[in-house]
Amino acid sequence: MTFKIGAHVSIEGGFTKALEREKALGGNCGQIFVKSPRTWHITKTTEKETSQFKEKYEKSNLKPFMAHGTYLINLATPKEELFQKSIECLKKEIEKTNKLSLPYITFHPGSHTGSGEEKGINKVIQGLNELEETLKNVETQLLLENTSGKGSTLGHTFPQLERMIKETNAPNIGVCLDTAHAYGAGYDFKTTTGIQKTLKEIKKTIGLHRIRMIHLNDSLAPLGSRKDQHAHGTNGEIGKEGIKNIVNHKELRNIPMVRETNLPQKDIAIAKELRQKQSV
């Protein structure tokens, strides 16, 4: 299969500009925000802009493209006002992503901010349940992104993600695997043995089939540090051999990968250079 590798790109100037940027970077899949990630406000997109994007996207080889949810969203919060704002924002982002005919939207489950892991996970499950009807009426799939476990953030272990997915009534919940976050949370991707151990836990919990996209990020933070710090290229703790292991592993290599750095063209090129014809 064709190696699917791309980057997060800006939608400045319109959604079709994002496709042009991705192609210029050398990517053949990608990721965007459908709105500003640091505000609650969602601007309306005209039917003309939507149809132009859909037409260009369908004719391109830049598939799949994924949306990334707003950073403000927190389904694990004990604060009811923030919880409800998060639900409403996610609903609108899911609907907007669906209008653009994008298959996935990913988001961070959130932080319990002191209420405790159990209560926080239960709030995430409650939030996903409130999205049930929205998700039933769209083709876009909602993906939970694993976290590093920084502070009180949840979703840093695969058993936590398993509970969120299996205890909700919301349909077809998947996962976006961020390799830097996983490394910070204690999942080793640097060695072949480490990857095999990590994949064994994934299979026992969420299931490998639920991983729809991979954020192919190196980590500045050490293994198990619970820190979220991305590194450019292969200059982090996962390093060249680790990234090489990921892009070539027989159970990961056919999952679309997106790089989230400020040097996307260079980092896409590095991933392509490390890709081998045969899986390992």
236-to-4, 6, 20, 180, 219 alpha-carbon distances in Å: 22, 19, 29, 9, 5
Res 280: pLDDT: 65
Q: How far is CA 77 from CA 27, 81, 149, 258, in A?
A: 36, 9, 15, 28
Give the torsion sign (CA, 211, 212, 217, 221): negative
Strands 230-231 and 218-219: antiparallel
Complete domains list, the chain, with CATH: 5-274 (3.20.20.150)
pLDDT in tens, the chain (280 residues): 899 999 999 999 999 999 999 999 999 999 999 999 889 998 888 999 999 999 999 999 999 999 999 999 999 999 999 999 999 999 999 999 999 999 999 999 999 999 999 999 999 999 999 999 999 999 999 999 999 999 999 999 999 999 999 999 999 999 999 999 999 999 999 999 999 999 999 999 999 999 999 999 999 999 999 999 999 999 999 999 999 999 999 999 999 999 999 999 999 999 999 999 766 6
Question: Structure tokens of 183?
Answer: 């490394």
Rounded Cα gap, residues 169 and 125, in angstroms: 9
Q: How much is the pLDDT for 43?
A: 86
pLDDT at 38: 86
Integer Cα distance of 176 and 257 in angstroms = 10
Decide the pairing of beta strands 30-32 and 257-259.
unpaired
> What gap in Å lies between CA 83 and CA 74, rounded to an integer?
6
Whether the Cβ atoms of residue 177 and residue 139 lie closer than 8 Å to each other:
no
pTM over 0.85: yes
Residue ranges of alpha helices (H) inside 113-157 are: 117-130, 132-136
**Structure token pair of residue 76:** 């694990």
Distance CA 103, CA 186 (A): 29
d(CA 250, CA 255): 10
Computed from CA positions of residues 210, 205, 37, 20, in that sequence, does the dihedral angle turn out positive or negative? negative
In whole angstroms, give the CA distance from residue 173 to residue 136: 11
Whole-angstrom Cα distance, residue 38 to residue 236?
27
- Nearest-angstrom CA–CA distance, 101 and 129: 23
> What CA–CA distance (Å, rounded) separates 185 from 171?
27
